[in-house]
């Protein structure tokens, strides 16, 4: 038996993140949705509609499986019935990008339970100060010295070869995934996820980095989702609450429809986008794929993909710039990535 994760009904509403990935490859909690299903079931996960077989179980890709709901979800798929009731506290799904940070606390706690059950944490150095040590788990190769960790508010997961430099202050829940780094004096509040090989600094609250992205310096980031291979320059901050305390609405898609997201709503940034030093993002801002944001004015609340300041990013320059950033982490753009970017450049905006 295989599991087909179908994103046909939710993919459009999850742009800009789904411009460059299947919904199953969105990270929420510690793991991506695909990784959750693999860990929980041990089954082959299929995402290409062209390869689906009649025997495959079909699951909406935006559903978040856990130890507590996976049997219910699998039975519903086998019986071809819908039990995906959003009022059930053990059923969560992402339908818009902001659901990623809104459900991150729930997902992080359940991923922590899944990944650590029956296992023992690597030793925690005595230089650290822990509140609720049972809620702190270090994978092999993780480095953490002279930090203060409060896991009474949520679990703290430190992945393989991840590092918390001296003076970090953590209030769970937190996931520092494989190879990620928190620089000296970083302050994080739950529920925050720093995806693989991301770098964090300054103050971060209830935000999710997909992978290989940087917010390495001072500045505030709250209630936000940052894609892969993004960079926030020194001093960059975002607003996550309106001065009126009222409902925040995001501008979504090319139609510029306004969708309410709640009283706290920060920055949504697509892959390969970057912001210059001291950029200030307004409440409820969406940045597309492959944007270079700079200038003295407050950026607009909707920045189309392939924006270079107020102009259109030249695609050849965009690809060269992305490759330059990738080289900083000993990688390079693959031919498939370049092909996708060329296609996006011609089809979106």
Predicted confidence (pLDDT) per residue in 61-78, tens digit? 999 999 999 999 998 888
Which residues have CB under 8 Å from 206's CB, separation 6+? Answer: 101, 104, 105, 189, 190, 191, 192, 222, 223, 224, 264
H or E stretch at 71: helix 70-79
Per-residue pLDDT at 84: 58
Per-residue pLDDT at 250: 95
Which residues of the chain are modeled with pLDDT < 50? none
Per-residue pLDDT at 68: 94
List Cα–Cα distances, 134 to 116, 156, 173, in angstroms: 11, 10, 13
Per-residue pLDDT at 45: 96
Per-residue pLDDT at 77: 84
Side-chain-side CA neighbours of 72 within 13 Å: the count stands at: 16
């Amino acid at each position: 038996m295989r599991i087909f994760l179908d994103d046909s009904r939710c993919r459009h509403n999850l742009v800009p993140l789904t411009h460059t990935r299947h919904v199953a490859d969105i990270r929420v909690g510690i793991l991506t949705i695909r990784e959750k299903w693999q860990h929980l079931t041990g089954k082959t996960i299929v995402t290409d509609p062209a390869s689906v077989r009649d025997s495959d179980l079909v699951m909406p890709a935006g559903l978040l499986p856990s130890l507590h709901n996976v049997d219910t979800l699998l039975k519903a798929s086998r019986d071809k019935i819908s039990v995906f009731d959003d009022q059930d506290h053990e059923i969560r799904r992402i339908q818009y990008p902001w659901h990623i940070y809104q459900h991150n606390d729930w997902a992080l706690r359940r991923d922590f339970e899944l990944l650590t059950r029956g296992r023992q944490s690597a030793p925690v150095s005595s230089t650290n100060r822990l509140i609720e040590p049972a809620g702190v788990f270090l994978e092999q190769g993780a480095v953490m010295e002279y930090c203060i960790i409060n896991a009474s508010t949520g679990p703290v997961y430190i992945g393989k070869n991840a590092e918390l430099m001296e003076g970090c202050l953590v209030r769970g829940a937190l996931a520092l995934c494989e190879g990620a780094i928190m620089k000296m004096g970083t302050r994080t509040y739950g529920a925050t996820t720093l995806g693989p090989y991301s770098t964090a600094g300054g103050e971060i609250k209830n935000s999710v980095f997909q992978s290989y992205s940087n917010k390495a310096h001072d500045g505030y980031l709250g209630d936000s989702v940052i894609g892969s291979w993004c960079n926030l320059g020194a001093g960059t901050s975002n607003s996550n609450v309106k001065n009126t305390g009222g409902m925040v609405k995001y501008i979504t898609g090319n139609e510029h429809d306004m969708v309410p997201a709640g009283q706290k709503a920060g920055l949504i940034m697509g892959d390969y986008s970057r912001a210059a030093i001291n950029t200030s993002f307004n409440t409820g801002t969406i940045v597309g794929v492959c944007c270079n944001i700079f200038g003295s004015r407050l950026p607009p609340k909707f920045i189309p993909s392939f924006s270079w300041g107020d102009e259109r990013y030249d695609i050849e320059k965009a690809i060269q710039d992305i490759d330059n950033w990738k080289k900083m982490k000993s990688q390079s753009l693959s031919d498939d990535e370049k092909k996708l970017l060329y296609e996006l450049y011609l089809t979106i905006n």
